[in-house]
Structure 1
Amino acid sequence: CVVRMKIIIFLTAVFVLAECAVVFKDCGSKVGKITGIAVSGCSDSPCNLVKGKNYTVNVTFTTMEATDSAYAYVYGILDGVSVPFPLPQPDGCMSNLKCPLKSNQTYVYSATLPVLSLYPDVKLVVKWELQDAKSGGNDLFCFETPISVTG
């Protein structure tokens, strides 16, 4: 029974590590610090996102300020041009975060994104921001990561 439990713990750890292999660059987190990023089904960098599937992004971060709001903004950057990507639910407090957020607390922000079949096959950089206000707020976190969209 103890051996079986150790095997289960080991396999769980391997699965979690496979989900946490996202390479990212902090792009200006002003009032927070990213401690980890995981994307479902991604074990390599760049993440290979297959058209027609949904992917869940989990960002673990610590905020240095209290705030009543959290809004997400996502952009695709291709050849230096930034194009906004509409999220199904940009309000982080309406997704999984329990607002108000407290200072010096760690949270996990989650968002599930559809990769539509109509998207072209492309390699690009995704920029993801979670801000403390609906427009022009401070970044609770900001990261960039390379992805590849394929059919």
Structure 2
Amino acid sequence: MYRLVVLAAAVALATAEVILTLHDCGSHDSIINSVRVEQCDSEPCIVHKGQDYTVHVNFTATRTVQEAHNVLHGGLGFISAPFPLQPENACQGSVTCPIVAGQTYEYVQTMTCPTFAPSITVTAKWEVKDENKQDIFCFNTRLQIKS
């Protein structure tokens, strides 16, 4: 019995993820219901250079949009640097366009922490923009980048 409890605890820790505290930074075309990162078990999320991280955003569209584009920036004070996301076109990922008002979606995006990133704590600004460059959704979260 003891071994079963230890095994269950180990599996729970290995699959741990945290629902991030939401800091909406100007969602225009939706309401964010939740944000979680699979490989994150506390805030700020600790991300290691060269490793993949998967973000899930559950959102409800408030306006129908035809296009969706991924944008991610890492910021430290007034300095902000882009982090490329592939594909740039979010409609080629987990969300099918058009995004229809009133429907709820599960946006899933995997990113690789760049190996060139400095080992610091940054504020990540994650946006998905519509065809008019307005935020379908936008949120900020803190990331601690490590080697």
TM-score (norm 1): 0.83
Counterpart amino acid of residue 136 in structure 2: L
Q: Which residue of 1 aligns with 2:115?
A: 117
Which ranges of structure 1 fall in alignment gaps of 5 or more residues? Answer: 1-10
Per the alignment, residue 76 of structure 1 pairs with: 74
Determine the structure 1 residue equivalent to 2:20: 22
1:57 to 55, 58, 66: 55
Q: Distance in 2 between matches of 1:60 and 1:143?
A: 12
Provide the aligned length of Structure 1 versus Structure 2: 138
Task: Give the distance between the partners of 1:23 and 1:82, measured in 2 at CA.
Answer: 21
- From 85, 88, 105, the counterpart of 2:86: 88
| Secondary structure, aligned partner of 1:147 | strand
TM-score (norm 2): 0.85
In the TM superposition, what is the alpha-carbon distance from 1:21 to its structure 2 partner? Answer: 2.8
Deviation, 1:100, is 1.2
Q: What SS does the aligned partner of 2:92 have? A: coil
SS of the equivalent of 1:93 reads helix
Deviation at 1:23, TM superposition (A): 2.1
Distance (Å, rounded) in 1 between the aligned partners of 2:98 and 2:106: 14
Q: Which residue of 1 aligns with 2:5?
A: none
1:118 Cα deviation after fit: 3.0
Is the counterpart of residue 39 in structure 1 residue 37 in structure 2? yes
Residue 149 in structure 1 maps to residue 145 in structure 2: yes
Task: Name the CA distance, whole Å, in 1 between partners of 2:112 and 2:120.
Answer: 16
**Alignment partners' CA distance in 1, 2:55 and 2:39:** 10
SS in 1 for 2:89: coil
Runs of 4+ in 1 over 3 A off after TM superposition: none
**Residue 135 of structure 2 is aligned with which of 136, 139, 145?**
139
How far apart in 2 are the matches of 1:37 and 1:20?
A: 9
| % identity of equivalent residues | 33
Moved more, 38-47 or 82-91: 82-91
Distance (Å, rounded) in 2 between the aligned partners of 1:100 and 1:28? 21
